[in-house]
Amino acid sequence: MIRIDGRKFDQIRDVKITRNFTKYAEGSVLIEMGETKVLCTASIEEKVPPFLRNTGTGWINAEYSMLPRSTQQRKVRDSSKGKIDGRSQEIQRLIGRAIRSVVDLNKLGERTIWVDCDVIQADGGTRTASITGAFVAVAEAIYKLYSDGLIKKMPIQNFVSAISVGIVNDECLLDICYAEDSNAQVDMNIIMTDRCEFVEVQGTGEERPFSRKDLNKLLELGEKGNKELIRIQRAALGKIADEILGMD
């Protein structure tokens, strides 16, 4: 079956990672996955939350937001309602967990990295694109600390990326776009490291409970997609990637 945008069932959208996209943040990346576009920045703050003070350990915090006109109908800004909606809260916690899972916070020292993921244009998979882009922004920011001599040992232990998969019209598909997402019987977000280990799997069969066989198929698609994304992250990071992988 040919998909709505002409892709094969196991084909990811065109991915583009642009580094140094904005000027002020220590790490700044625009990630584009098809029509989904997210700006991910990583900012260093030389202090930690109270629960980590005097422990020598660092922290990574993530925030996620959709710009009002990132969606087909204008969406009211979280900040204008005075509180963050449940979906954004869930997504920002997911991004934080994913990035922390591959960083040794002891080696980071007592400082915080603020990860900000702002969706410029949404066409499905904004949380997974956020994670994939945020990793590159964080790697850039950490590398800056490392090359400035502020940290002695590289805190990044692995690469991490994320991709969505789903079942649409009873077919398992990789990297679902919004048109597919809105008809999906099952949808799942798979977060993995470069060692093909899972960091998190979020899956819902609200429209159609799914079998173990389906689950295996979806995981296999997720692994294929994440391998491709990590290759793209490595290419985007160039010599930083070599240093991350070659150092401890």
Query: What is the binding site for ligand UDP (CB under 6 A)?
Result: 71-72, 75, 87, 122-127, 164, 178, 181
Residue number with CB closer to ligand UDP (48 or 188): 188
CB 90 → ligand UDP: shortest distance, Å?
9
Residue number with CB closer to ligand UDP (168 or 244): 168
CB 236 → ligand UDP: shortest distance, Å?
21
Residue number with CB closer to ligand UDP (141 or 219): 219
One-character DSSP codes across 164-212: EEEEETTEEEES--HHHHTTEEEEEEEEEETTS-EEEEEEE-SSS---H
CB 192 → ligand UDP: shortest distance, Å?
16
CB 122 → ligand UDP: shortest distance, Å?
4
d(CA 29, CA 141) in angstroms, rounded, equals 11
Identify the H or E element spanning 40: strand 36-45
Residue number with CB closer to ligand UDP (71 or 158): 71
Note whether 73 and 178 are within 8 A (CB).
no
One-character DSSP codes across 111-134: -EEEEEEEEEE-SS-HHHHHHHHH
Residue number with CB closer to ligand UDP (29 or 176): 176
Provide the edge-to-edge strand list for the sheet that holds 184-193.
171-174, 160-168, 184-193, 198-204
CB 81 → ligand UDP: shortest distance, Å?
13
DSSP label of 14 = P
Residue number with CB closer to ligand UDP (64 or 143): 64
d(CA 66, CA 57) in angstroms, rounded, equals 31
Residue number with CB closer to ligand UDP (53 or 208): 208
Provide the edge-to-edge strand list for the sheet that holds 59-66.
15-19, 27-33, 36-45, 112-121, 59-66
d(CA 184, CA 171) in angstroms, rounded, equals 10
